[in-house]
Amino acid sequence: MLDVTRASPDARAYARAEELVSLLTDLYGAGLTRIAELAGEHAPHLVPHLIADELVASLMLVHGLHPDGLAQRVEVALESVRPMLAGHGGDVELLDVDEDAAAVHLRLLGSCDGCPSSASTLQNAVEEAILAAAPEIAIIDVEEPTETPGPGSVPITLGPKPEYTSCPAEPVAP
């Protein structure tokens, strides 16, 4: 809607719409902050349930209210895919989280290291888990195998995720 308003011949309409969105975001953020404070004070047993809810957790992330740090959220995401990787004789190790660069550095272990299907395994399972838990991550870097890869192996390097000027899921206005 902001993009449609931006294309309007009235530049003031876009500025007003953008200000309205900002004010509403601030209002809802303040309300969510208060809810989180009250839950922490009066119903601390509720906080883990709020964090476990995907929608509530994502709102808490947007407003800087999520109680778990970035490295902890990434590790939890990796824990969620480890059983699947173990089923293929592999694992993934978190080497570093660089909050300033919004980057995660990983190493594949076991059979996943150098496995031809590692690229799709990492791309689909590990990356999705990390980005769901830590949407602020822009770079997922995978350490190359130190051994000489065998025949048919595929080296894996993920670059930065694309930056969009608008939501790619939104329909384009005619």
Same domain, 108 and 133: yes
Same domain, 54 and 12: yes
Query: 36 lies in which domain range?
Result: 2-62
Mean pLDDT of the region 47-73 = 88
For residue 162, pLDDT over 60 is answered with no
The CATH number for 101's domain is: 3.30.300.130
For residue 152, pLDDT over 90 is answered with no
Same domain, 51 and 84: no
Radius of gyration over alpha carbons of the chain, in Å? 20
Same domain, 49 and 89: no
Confidence category of residue 13, pLDDT binned at 50, 70, 90: confident
Using CA atoms, how far apart are residues 70 and 66, in angstroms rounded to an integer?
9
User: Would residue 93 count as lying in a domain?
Assistant: yes
Same domain, 15 and 49: yes
For residue 30, pLDDT over 90 is answered with yes
Q: Domain boundary at 62, 88, 103, which? A: 62
Give the tokens for residue 38. Answer: 């009250």
User: Would residue 174 count as lying in a domain?
Assistant: no
Same domain, 76 and 139: yes
Decide which of 126 and 161 is more confident: 126
Report which of 111, 132, 133, 121 is spatially closest to residue 158, judged by C-alpha positions: 121
What's residue 58's pLDDT? 84
Name the average pLDDT for the chain: 79
Q: How many domains does the chain have?
A: 2
Decide which of 61 and 168 is more confident: 61
Each residue's pLDDT tens digit, 98-119: 999 999 999 877 765 556 665 5
Torsion on CA atoms 140, 145, 146, 149, rounded to nearest 10: -160
Confidence category of residue 49, pLDDT binned at 50, 70, 90: very high
Torsion on CA atoms 164, 169, 171, 172, rounded to nearest 10: 20
**Least confident window among 11-20, 90-99, 147-156:** 147-156
